[in-house]
Structure 1
Amino acid sequence: MSKPKIGIIVGSTRANRFADKPTEWIANIAKARTDLEFEVVDLRDYPMPFFEEATSPAWAPSQNEVAQRWQKKVEELDGYIFITAEYNRGPTAVLKNAIDYAYNEWNNKPAAFVGYGGVGAARAIEQLRLHAVEMQMAPTRAGVHILTPDFVAVLQQGKKLEEIEHLNQSATAMLDQLAWWAKALKAARDADALTAQAA
C-alpha cells in the first residue's frame, strides 16, 4: 500500500491572514514523518463562489469549473488537516463553503484540525468535527489549539510556533492519530475498490 497523502488545507483567504504561520509550522513537523506524504492546499487557489449549485454534490456533478477542480484535489487526498481561525464562535465562511462544495470525495477519510484564536478555535473546531462527520469523515480527537497567549507571543513578541513546546506535543499527538486513521481507512477503501472490481 502506498503512503497516504494528506492535504493541509489553509482555511483563510484574507490578505493579512495568520494562517500562513501555523500552516508552515505544521507542514514542517509533518514532512519529517516517513509514514505519510503531505501537500499544502490553499483555498486562495480555489476561488469558489458561495455555494449556489442546483443540488448537493452528493447527488449531482457540480457545474462550477473551480468547484470541479477542487473536488478533484479533495479526491486525490487520503486525509486532511484543516487550518482554521475562529470567527464569531465558528469556522471561516470560506472553509465551510469549500467543505460544502464536495461530498463523496471526503468520505471515509480522516480529518484533523489546527485552530487559532481566542480559545484556540475550540468552538470552530467543534463545529468542523460535526461537519466532518456529516461528510462521512473520521475526525481525530487530538487537535492543535493556538491560544491567545501563543498568538500574541508570535505576532507581538517575535516567538516562533516551533518554540512553544505544548503546541509541538499537541501536533505530534494529532499527527499520530491522523496517521493511524489514514492508513486504516486507506486499506479499507482499497479493499472495497478490489471487491467492486471483482464483482
Structure 2
Amino acid sequence: MVKIAVVVGSTRPGRRSKQVADWVLTRAISRGGADFELLDLADFRLPLLDEPLPPSMGDYRHEHTRIWAETISGFDGFVFVTAEYNHSVPGALKNALDFLYAEWNNKAAGFVSYGSAGGVRAVENLRLIAGELQIADVRAQVALPFATDFENATTFTPSQVAEEALEPLLEQLISWSTALKTLRS
C-alpha cells in the first residue's frame, strides 16, 4: 500500500491550513486505499535554505536537511494543503520544497488550497514547482474560498462542493502514487 503525506503548508500563527489538513486526513483515512499521515511543516522548523550545494547534488550538510530528506523519502505521494499568499504559495512551503530534489522525484501530488479566490493561484505556482522537482501533479484539486468554506474567514466549514471535490483528488493521487512507485523500485 502506498504512503501519502497530507502536508500542512503554512507555519504562520493563526493559520487555517491545519484545520483543512485535518479534514483532508480524516476523509482520506476513512476512504482508505493508502496509508495517510499528517506532515506539518511547523514541526520541522526548517531555516531558510542554508545548504551550500544545490539539492540536486544530494550532499546535505545539515542535520535538519537530512531529517527532512529522510522524512520525505518515506512517502509515495503528497496532498499539499496551501494557503494563497500574495498570489503564490507560503514561503515556508516553497522553502521546504526547495531543500530537496531526489526525494521528491517520481512521486505524485494533489493540491487543496484556500484563500479569497480559493487559493487557485497558489496551486498554479505549485504545479510549476512540482514539474521541476519531477513530482507528477494530478488534475483534480480542491479550492476553498473563504466566502463559502470558512465561517467568518477563520473557522473551516467545508461546503458540499468541497466534500465532493476531495474524492476525485484522492482517487487520482492514490492511482498515480501507486503507478509511480514502480519507477522508483
* TM bucket, shorter chain: over 0.9
Instruction: Give the counterpart of 2:157 among 157, 160, 164.
Output: 160
Check conservation: 2:146, 2:153, Cα contact below 8 A.
Answer: no
CA contact (8 A) 1:8 1:80 kept: yes
The whole-number CA distance in structure 2 between the counterparts of 1:51 and 1:79 is 23
- 3-state SS of paired residue (1:88): coil
Structure 2: 5+ residue stretches without partners: none
How far off its partner does 1:63 sit? 1.5
Q: Choose from 28, 31, 35 the match for 1:30.
A: 28
1:71-100 deviation per Cα after TM superposition (whole angstroms, max 9, x unaligned):
100000000011100010000000000000
Q: Deviations over 1:27-73 (max 9, x none)?
A: 11100123111010011111111112211111142222111101100
Identity of matched residues, %: 36
Distance of aligned partners of 1:181 and 1:18 in 2 relative to their CA distance in 1, 3 Å threshold: same
**What do the CA deviations read for 1:147-190 (whole angstroms, capped 9, x no partner)?**
1212443646x6732xx110011100101110110111112322
* 8 A contact 1:117–1:151 mirrored in 2: no
> Is contact 1:81-1:113 (8 Å) kept?
yes
Equivalences for residues 26-175 of structure 1 within 5 A: 26-153=24-151, 155=153, 160-161=157-158, 164-175=159-170
User: How high is the TM-score relative to the length of structure 2?
Assistant: 0.95
Gaps of 5+ in 1: 191-199
Q: Which moved more, 1:45-54 or 1:171-180?
A: 45-54
Q: Check conservation: 1:81, 1:111, Cα contact below 8 A.
A: yes
User: Which secondary structure state, in structure 2, belongs to the residue aligned with residue 29 of structure 1?
Assistant: helix
**1:154–1:160 Cα contact (<8 Å) kept:** no
Q: Determine if the alignment matches structure 1 residue 5 to structure 2 residue 3.
A: yes
Higher strand share: 2
Q: Does the 8 Å contact 2:11/2:92 carry over to 1?
A: yes
Change (3 A) 1:85 1:134: same
Query: Distance in 2 between the 1:106 and 1:37 partners?
Result: 18
Q: Tell me the alpha carbon deviations over residues 106-156 of structure 1, each in whole angstroms, 9 at most, x when there is no partner.
A: 000001111000111101101001100100010011111001212443646
The structure with the larger Rg is 1
- The alignment partner of 1:106 has SS state of coil
TM-score normalised by L of structure 1 = 0.88
**Distance in 1, Cα, partners of 2:110 & 2:88:** 16
Q: RMSD in angstroms over aligned alpha carbons?
A: 1.4
